[in-house]
Structure 1
Amino acid sequence: MSSNKKVDLEEEIIKKSFNLFLVNGYEKTTIRQIADAVGIGRGHLYYYFKKKEDILLFIYKKILNKIYELISNHDMNDTELLLNYAITQCLYTYTIVKYENLFRIYIEASKVPVIKKEYVNILIDLFKKKATETHYKVDEKDIYISVAVGCAGEEELLRRYYNKDIELDIEDIIKSVISTRLILLNIIEKKEVDEIVNNAINIANKLDIDGFLDSFDIFLHKI
């Protein structure tokens, strides 16, 4: 099989899988259903993705990379790592919450241990890559603690928000999650954290989030 055909088939697997996740939910979608939807055997599917979890993690990476791409394409006076990191969290959370089916996938997937673990690893790798572009000397241990604790808090707050079991709005949740992550990095003071969080939310809102999410909706249907 040519490299172009391999890429095309991989994209088709992702597209069909995501559609099944949206319609049936992540938990109820099986590898057999995905293979049938694509029109290939399970053995052929395993050549590309060993597990259903791998497909969802691939989609998470696409989402985060799309957000990073959006941020990098906008001129900002302060392009420090921490501010971009905070803006990314804003847009990521707004994206999940806007799409009900995507929000459901997030809630279902957050119950799967391997996905929780790998999701943390994805964010750690992204942050470490960005950290090399700045003057900050961030300890790898603090990066892990920051992301792991931040993800746990994010999951709990968003789950309660999804179930309408918490009296917080999305901006409250975003502020809490970002502040926790930045404080646990142990590189700036609380006052600076507050300034970054507020600045990130203001910048995210000026980026025309609704317009971004509309384009992201097209993106979701194309992956």
Structure 2
Amino acid sequence: MSNKKIDIEEQIIKKSFNLFLVNGYEKTTIRQIADSVGIGRGHLYYYFKKKEDILLFIYKTILNKIYELISNHRMNDSELLLNYAVTQCLYTYTIVRYEKLFRIYIEASKVPVIRKEYVNLLIELFEKKALETHYNVKEKDIYISVAVGCAGEEELLRRYYNKEIGLDIEDIIKSVLLTRLFLLDIIDKKEVYEIVDNAIDIANNLNIDELLESFDIFLNKV
């Protein structure tokens, strides 16, 4: 990818993110995004076909950065469930630590197409990792685990954001992880609890500030 293309893509992401904050995700239009970047709508479509693609790109960037951070700390790639759990811990911590990103997450989670594509994104990432392991994970169980886990996570985080529940983030993370791992139906209850506790400990000991700094591409003001 040329430097010019990378620069335009970054500008689209930054400008879109700020428009989502100012106008709300649903009220932000493709025309507004294109005008803010200084390009035509046809030119913008070359980079992103739909508005939701921009937001999903941000989500995917976060997840990929998390996988990269885990890899840099030499976690064994074959430990599928532990990596999965640590990734989800760090993902939730990241959303909550960045107030701007949290606001976007809360609004976007109400949009059916975003919910659907977000679930598909997580399923795709998990299936790729599953191929590297000895686990015989069934496709239907992956779908149920991710879909139910996402629904529960969205509801709990929305209530947390609106200060409607007396739970802290670790309570929410633990609840969501237990649900997701139980629904995969490949290990026993004791192992699930051990993985979740281990994942939370690992996530808390990783340098999350290093992770947060890597998202300046779309979280900094422009």
Same fold by TM-score, threshold 0.5 exceeded? yes
Q: In the aligned structure 2, how far is the partner of 1:214 from the partner of 1:58?
A: 16
Any idea what the Cα deviations from partners look like across 1:161-205, whole Å, max 9, x if unmatched? 011111111000000111101000010011100000000000111
**TM-score after normalising by structure 1:** 0.92
Which residues of structure 1 form unaligned runs of 5+? Answer: none
1:199 matched to which residue of 2? 198
Match of 1:146 in 2: 145
Give the count of matched residue pairs: 221
Q: Which runs of 5+ in 2 are unaligned?
A: none
Equivalent position amino acid for 1:31 in 2:
I
Q: Percent identity?
A: 81
**C-alpha contact (below 8 Å) 1:87/1:204 kept by paired residues:** yes
Q: Is the 8 A contact 1:25 1:104 kept in 2?
A: no
2:10–2:218 CA contact under 8 A, matched in 1: no
Superposition deviation, residue 8 in structure 1:
3.1
Whole-angstrom distance in 2 between the partners of 1:138 and 1:214: 32
Distance of 2:219 and 2:147 partners within structure 1: 30
Q: TM-score, normalised by structure 2?
A: 0.92
Give the Cα–Cα distance (whole angstroms) in 1 for the partners of residues 111 and 86 of structure 2: 27
Q: Is the 8 A contact 2:66 2:90 kept in 1?
A: yes
Aligned residue number for residue 83 of structure 1: 82
Alignment correspondent of 1:114: 113
Root-mean-square deviation (CA, aligned residues, Å) is 2.0
Aligned position for 1:215? 213
**Quick one: distance in 2 between partners of 1:78 and 1:56?**
27
Name the SS for the 1:37 alignment partner.
Answer: helix
Q: CA deviation at 1:21?
A: 2.2
| Residue 45 (structure 1) shift | 1.6
Larger RCO, structures 1/2 (Cα 8 Å, 6+ apart): 2
Q: How far apart are the structure 2 equivalents of 1:152 and 1:22?
A: 23
By how many angstroms is 1:213 displaced? Answer: 4.5
Match for residue 164 of structure 1?
163
